[in-house]
Chains A and B, each alone.
Chain A
Amino acid sequence: MDGVQLLVSGLANGCVYGLIALGFVLIYKATEAVNFAQGDFMMLGAFVTLGLTNAEYLHLPFWLAAPLSIAIMAGLGYLLDLVILRHLFGQNQTAVVILTIALGFVIRFFAGAIWGHEPQTLESPLALGDVQLAGVVLGLADLAIIIVTVLLTWSLYQFFQRTKLGLAMQAASQNQMAAYFMGIPVKRVQGLIWGLSGATAAVAGILFASKGAIDPNAGLLGIKAFAAAVIGGFGSLPGALAGGVIVGVIEPFAARYLAAGYSQIAPYVLLLAVLLFRPHGLFSQVRTKKV
């Protein structure tokens, strides 16, 4: 039973990593850039919800506050693209990497200035109660996280595969010039994808905050989500989820069965191993271009 318990809690943690990784992958898929501030987006989403829901702030009902904060984060993502990232159009990747790291600093600073640096908990209906299932104790929040993550990944996958907009996003990332000529409004498409990743970050934030306390440094979780995204393959949405689950499950097991110093490095060793042997990740299907 012990192993199953570890597996379930690892699964729930992994789904949060997977959700953040989903944000990375969305932006990478559509703009070929990596948003190093995605973890901080997640933290901001959690704090926005917390600010709307908690008794000492606005005290809105949770089921109103959650969609509202998702919408706010989506708007923020679009705005960021409009104001800042669009100007980097055509610049090299290093510029985007450094810009988004700096953005993370700024978000962390503002979150700390508005909500303080103390850890706070979200007053969410998900945080209540456990479920007993065949001797395994499941937190309600854990269950919610797993279900929401799987649903979200599936629908985003379908979105990219089936809808016109999703295909337009993929086209815009592969060859901007050609996409322009085919009548795709590349800039607006990129803005939309930043909005979408903001919304995903908000979902991740809400779920993360209903599991435990949140503080402005929670965004550093993003580094583990990176590992997840790379392990899964940076261009693949189901891969991001799978990578997140792998990292999430490895952590508690390593903490349990390895010596103290070695357990923390397990996810990163796995990351380096994957980068060495399958540089494009476990689930990507990159074929080399012939010409």
Chain B
Amino acid sequence: MRIQFKTSYDHDIRLFPDRHSLLVYGALVMLALALPLLINEFYIGEVTNVLIWAIAGLGLMLLTGQTGQASLGHAAFLAIGCYANTILIEQGLPFIVAFPLAGVITGIVGGIIAIPALRLHGIYLAIATIALSILADDIIVLLEPWTGGVSGKFPDVIRLFGIEIERWTMPVRFYYLVLGVTVICTLFYRNLLRSPLGRAFAAVRDSEVSATAMGVHIARTKATAFGLSCMITGWAGALMGYYAGAFNNETFSLVISITLLMMIVIGGLGSIHGAFFGAVVVAFLPQGLSILKDSVLGSGVAIPGLETGVFGMILILFILFEPMGLYGRWLKIRIWFELFPFARKDMFRRQKSYLKTERLR
């Protein structure tokens, strides 16, 4: 059992809580760097997919997990990031400029959209963002001269410092690119949580009234969260465009938005681990299900809609029995071992609260 002795207030906001976790995460990065030596190129592609979903998950996690605003429209921002990146590169900008800029553009668009959306609470925000997700599909078709409309676009080969990177012919190089972006986004997220802004996010999520009382500007904080969230999502969208190799108006549909939200719930809301756990589930669930189905029913039996049905059931079970997601389960197992003979069943018991609304009709 490890005990952290915090002797100064600074210890609460360290990047790594103690030397042990520094070693663990260092080892993890080493493993990620050595991965192409250990597994073949097909699986490298799969891991790349997981990492891209994890980046998108981090983006939404910042909004939903950290600031408490559920968005069902993040597919629209994935699309903005993807199209912005491709169009900027077509205009002749190098990748090293276009890619970060694509994220920034998405962030700015997100921030602008957020300003009116800030007047909306919980459910209304979710519905407005659904509308956004549906509108994105049609708007991409309407903006055909730029976006290619229904026929779509094909992203160019990435040229970074004279090195060519392409997803199909050189998956290992693409993997390293995605890994780099993942590490940068994760560090960005972690550092944001350590900053006053990150604490303001958490304050807004937990109670807007108390946050205001503590001097947090609610509207500005929410808009910032929206913008930063969209920025990360935009990068994920650009990478998704490269991963898919071709995209059109139907690539970033409402289903992607919903999957993304469900992913971070399965992973565990409000934790960086959760985005990664959720991405693993989302990326490998289809394969896992098809293997399971083949072994139970024999191959060749097709059940349409099985995947989403099982996904839905898993999700219902998670929300009922493990609202903190996979990360919560992992935390419980770890704490059980750390406290070995002293762990008690009710340590993680949920609190009940009563609803009290301001609505009169």
Chain A residues within CB distance 8 Å of chain B:
28, 32, 34, 84, 87-95, 97-99, 101-106, 108-110, 112-113, 117, 173-178, 180, 216, 223, 226-227, 230, 234-236, 261-262, 264-265, 268-269, 271-272, 275-276, 279, 284-289
Contacts and interface: CB of A to CB of B under 8 A. Distances in A.
B312 A264 contact: no
A261 B135 CA distance: 11
Given A93-B123, A226-B127, A261 B357 contact: no
Contact of B308 (A32, A109, A261): A109
Residue with the greatest number of chain A CB neighbours at <10 A, chosen from B68, B70, B139, B359: B359
Contact of B357 (A173, A227, A269): A173
Given A234-B123, A275-B128, A102 B316 contact: yes
Given A94-B70, A176-B354, A226-B127, A109 B309 contact: yes
B354 A112 contact: no
B141 interface: yes
Interface stretch (B155-163, B173-181, B257-265): B257-265
A101 B306 contact: no
Contacts of A288: 358
B119 interface: yes
Interface of B: 64, 68, 70, 116-117, 119-120, 122-124, 126-128, 130-132, 134-135, 138-139, 141-142, 254, 258, 261-262, 265, 269, 303-306, 308-313, 315-316, 319-320, 323, 351-361
Contacts of A93: 70, 122-123
A102 B354 contact: no
Main secondary structure of the interface of B (DSSP, over half): helix
B134 A175 contact: no
A174 B355 CA distance: 7
B305 A108 contact: yes
A76 B276 CA distance: 36
A174 B360 CA distance: 7
A106 B320 CA distance: 15
A153 B8 CA distance: 63
30 contacts: A34-B123, A90-B354, A90-B355, A92-B122, A93-B123, A94-B269, A97-B126, A103-B312, A105-B309, A112-B305, A113-B303, A113-B305, A173-B359, A174-B356, A174-B357, A175-B354, A176-B355, A178-B356, A216-B305, A226-B127, A261-B138, A261-B142, A265-B134, A268-B135, A272-B131, A272-B132, A276-B119, A284-B361, A286-B359, A287-B360
Contacts of B353: 90
Nearest to A109: B309
B67 to A, nearest CB: 11
Given A84-B316, A99-B316, A236-B361, A268 B134 contact: yes
Nearest to A117: B304
Nearest to B144: A261
A226 B357 contact: no
Contacts of A285: 360-361
Contact of A276 (B116, B141, B316): B116
Contacts of B360: 174, 285-287, 289
B311 A105 contact: yes
A109 B305 contact: yes
Contact of A105 (B64, B116, B308, B323): B308
Contacts of B265: 94, 98
B311 to A, nearest CB: 6
A105 B312 contact: yes
Given A90-B354, A109-B309, A176-B356, A102 B315 contact: yes
Contacts of A88: 319-320
A226 B135 contact: no
A98 B319 contact: yes
Contacts of A110: 309
Given A32-B359, A98-B265, A102-B319, A275 B120 contact: yes
A279 B354 contact: no
A162 B124 CA distance: 29
A28 B122 CA distance: 13
B21 to A, nearest CB: 29
A94 B71 CA distance: 10
Contacts of B123: 28, 34, 93, 97, 234
A178 B231 CA distance: 44
A102 B323 contact: no
Contacts of A268: 131, 134-135
Given A113-B305, A268-B131, A275-B124, A106 B313 contact: yes
Give the 4 A-B residue pairs with the shortest CB-CB distance, closest first. Answer: A109-B309, A105-B312, A102-B315, A102-B312
A99 B315 contact: yes
B201 to A, nearest CB: 15
A88 B317 CA distance: 12
B356 A177 contact: yes
A286 B311 CA distance: 38
Nearest to B316: A102
B262 A108 contact: no
A234 to B, nearest CB: 7
B356 A175 contact: yes
A91 B132 CA distance: 26
Contacts of B354: 90, 175-177, 180
Given A99-B316, A113-B305, A173-B355, 16 more contacts: A84-B316, A90-B352, A90-B354, A101-B262, A105-B309, A108-B308, A109-B305, A109-B309, A112-B304, A117-B305, A174-B356, A174-B357, A223-B254, A264-B138, A271-B128, A271-B131
Nearest to A110: B309
